[in-house]
Every structure is written in structure tokens, then in C-alpha cells.
Amino acid sequence: MILSDIVICGGALSGLTAALALQKLNMKILIIDPLTIEEIIKKDKRTTAIAAGPGKFYLEKGVWQLLEGKAESINKINIKDGNSGFQLDFDYNEIKESLRSKLVTNLGYVVENSHLLQSINNIIKNNGKKTPVKRIKAKVISIEKKEEDLAKIKLDNGKIVLASLIIAADGRNSVIRKMSGIEEKKLDYEQYAFVCQIQHKNFHQNIALEKFLPGGPLAILPMIKNEKSYRSSIIWSDNKEVSMGRFNSARHDPKRIAYELERHSFEWLGRIESLSSSAVYPLQLIRAKNVVAERFVLIGDAAHGLHPIAGQGFNLTIRDIKIFTELCKKRVLLGLDIGSEKFLKDYEKIRRADILGLVLATHSLNKLFSIKKSPIKLFRKVGMSAIQKSPYIKRIFMKYAMGL
């Protein structure tokens, strides 16, 4: 029998970040995951865009200092409506004088998940000299409530864990969410995202591109340069057949997909020299009807899986974790139960507007740019032109995107 204050089910990026934040509460924290952290780091070839505001969270924890030379800054975001001449530019230089924090020096960062995971894990280990975070490689078989204000967790290795609070951080298809009894709403976008990393001849100038094409948005994000050449991360959404075709091309005929990408980026990035870390995955909007239940709280994709159109999904997760930790701290100082239903419901009320607002924003944005009718296309162009001409409105959009 293992007794813990907090059990985090899922030890990848969201779960590990939650453990890092909650570690300062001086409570017993246990991470349960079928994979070791080393296995997760080796397996995760993705990149994550972290906005300037949430990035301060990692800076305060000491994580960002370990990522020096491994995270690339985003200084400018270029939004294009297809191949038309209409575009919208968000430039850090246009907003920096209005920012009060000297810690914010750009719009955000792009970092490889493997580097971020390793840095977070190193900080947790270092902090563990005072408040260790334990980890068990196992699968959760069942969860049930006990009368002693504890939850009972059965693992596939035969062990039983008792905890005051369970955090579900096991992804969009969360098994723990189902065990908690929390239902979710799903919307299939009928799109798949093709992702990869490219090496290219020219410097990306720290520009992030979001180009809305007839099949779906193409995002090109700046990455840190390696020993050989400049790099960028690709997230290209389209219907399943097209996305699978791009994935197969990346594996068997990379020159074909390189040519297709060069059509949209040659003047900026130059010749694409190679592709790597290609993958494809379906796009769905998944939103839990509630993010809490008695002794349960959902974070990350277990709570809200968004379309990658604005790159804001994980930034929302960081805000969830930060606010939840602050509320837990107050409870712990008063000696109160952090797993009580009333406390968790209060947290849910605080986060409801931010979560719902971002869900609706990303969904509406994807829908707006997927409509091909002329009146809507004209409306988009007029709207983009109006924002581009208004420094005040642009600053509002930039601060929101930066999480400030």
C-alpha cells in the first residue's frame, strides 16, 4: 500500500509540468505512467510553441535557464490568407515599449519536447533533495473512492495507491477521465495534421508563419539552428487523404514534399535540404464537460484538446497548472483538503471563461478560414486589413496571444 497526497496519472509534458509546480507545496507527489521519463524523452520528437507569458512560468522555476541554446524565439508572426496579398503581421518591436516586464523579450519560443522534458525532469530531481517526486512505471486498472476522504488506485503491477487528489494528465483519450465519470464533447474536424521538421538554406529570421490554405492552415515555426543548417517545424492541416499522402512522401519521396513546402516558403527559407521526425495525427476538438470531480482534476489534453491553428493548447495548460497550484497553496497553508469537491469546483469556475474562450476562438478561427464563399473571403480580407492598419488593435491581439 502506497500513501500519497497527489497522484498524477500521466508523466509526459503536462503531468511533469504539474509535478514541478506542485512540488513547492511540500506534499507527497507520485507520478504513474506506463513509460519511464527516459522512454518518453526518447519517443517524443515533437516541438511546442510556448508564448511569452506562460514562458515566464518556466523561467521562475529554473527550467528556462537549462534551455539556453535549445529554444528559438519568435519575434514576428506572419498570417497570410492563402496566396492572396492580404496578410497580418505581429511584430514584437511594435509592442515591447508598452510591456512592463523586462523578462518578456519576444512573442514566444519554439522548443523541442525532448529538451523541455529533460530540463523539467532535472529541476524536479534537484528540488527532490527536499521534496522528492516519486514515479512508478505502471498502468492504472481502476479507481474508487474510499470513506476516509481518499481515492484508491489499483495498478497493473498489483500495487494499491491511496491519494487525496488524482490529476489526470494522460492525453486526449484519457483513461483516467473515463474512470472519473467525467464526460467529454468531441468534434471531428475531418482534418489530419502532418508534422515534421525541415532543414533549410536561409535563416528563418525568427518568423512564425500561419498560412491559411484551401485545405487547412500551414504553420512554419522557427527552431534553433543545429550544427549543419537552419531548422523549422511544420504543422500542416488538411483532409486525411492529403495529409497521409504528405506523410508517405516524407518517408519515401521527401523531394516531393520539400518542393510542395518550398512553394510557400522559398523566398523566405530558400531551398529545403532535408526532412525529419514526420508524423500524422487526426484533429479533434475534445472538451471535458467538467474539468473536476470529487478527488479528480483534469489538465492538459485530458481537459481540452484544441485545434493547433493558433498554437495555444499547451499555453492554456500552463495557465491551468499555475492557477491550480496557487489555489492549492492557500488550502495547504490552512490545512484543508485539496481534493474536496467544493474546492475543485471553485477552481473550475475560475478557469471556465479562459478555457471556453480559447476553445471557441480556435474553433471559430478554423471555421472562418475554411469557408471558401466569396462574401466570407471578402469579410476576412477586410478584417485583416483593418487590424493591420490599427496599432492599438494589433497590440490587443498580441498581448492575448502572448498570454499577458
All three cell numbers of 34, joined, read: 506506463
Cβ-contact 181, 288 below 8 angstroms: no
All three cell numbers of 364, joined, read: 471559430
Distant-in-sequence, close-in-space partners of 256: CB < 8 Å, separation ≥ 6? 249
Quote the pLDDT of residue 304.
94
Return the number of other C-beta atoms located less than 10 Å from residue 36's C-beta. 13
- CA 234/CA 209 separation, integer angstroms: 10
Quote the pLDDT of residue 401.
79
- What percent of the residues of the chain are helix, what percent strand, and what percent coil, each to the nearest 5? 45, 30, 25
Quote the pLDDT of residue 251.
92
Cβ-contact 49, 108 below 8 angstroms: yes
Residue 337 CA, chain-centre distance (Å), reads: 29
Determine whether 114 is exposed, middle or buried from the number of CB atoms within 10 Å of its CB (0-12, 13-18, 19+).
middle
Quote the pLDDT of residue 377.
67
- CA 318/CA 324 separation, integer angstroms: 10
Closest C-alpha to 237, from 281, 301, 277: 281
Quote the pLDDT of residue 259.
94
Count of helix runs (H) and strand runs (E) in the chain: 12, 19
Listing DSSP states for 161-214 in one string gives: EEEEEEEE-S-TT-HHHHHHT--EEEEEEEEEEEEEEEEESS--TTEEEEEEET
All three cell numbers of 25, joined, read: 507545496
- CA 29/CA 15 separation, integer angstroms: 11
Quote the pLDDT of residue 269.
96
Which CATH number is associated with domain 2-45+113-186+285-369? 3.50.50.60
All three cell numbers of 60, joined, read: 521562475
Q: Give the pLDDT means over successive 10-residue stretches in the chain (404 positions).
A: 95 97 94 97 93 90 93 93 78 82 85 96 91 95 84 95 96 94 92 95 96 92 92 96 95 93 94 94 93 95 88 91 96 93 96 90 77 68 73 79 78
Our CA angle for 315, 320, 321, nearest 5°, is 100
Give me the phi and psi of 162, to 5 degrees please: -110, 135
Cβ-contact 21, 372 below 8 angstroms: no
Cβ-contact 286, 185 below 8 angstroms: yes
Determine whether 336 is exposed, middle or buried from the number of CB atoms within 10 Å of its CB (0-12, 13-18, 19+).
exposed
- CA 310/CA 307 separation, integer angstroms: 8
Listing DSSP states for 253-297 in one string gives: -HHHHHHHHHHHHHHHH--EEEEEEEEEEEEEEEEES-SEETTEE
Question: Coil, helix or strand for 150?
Answer: strand
Quote the pLDDT of residue 379.
67
Closest C-alpha to 217, from 307, 105, 328: 307
Is the pTM higher than 0.85? The answer reads: yes
All three cell numbers of 45, joined, read: 520528437
All three cell numbers of 324, joined, read: 491550480
The residue with cell 474536496 is: 340
- CA 285/CA 288 separation, integer angstroms: 10
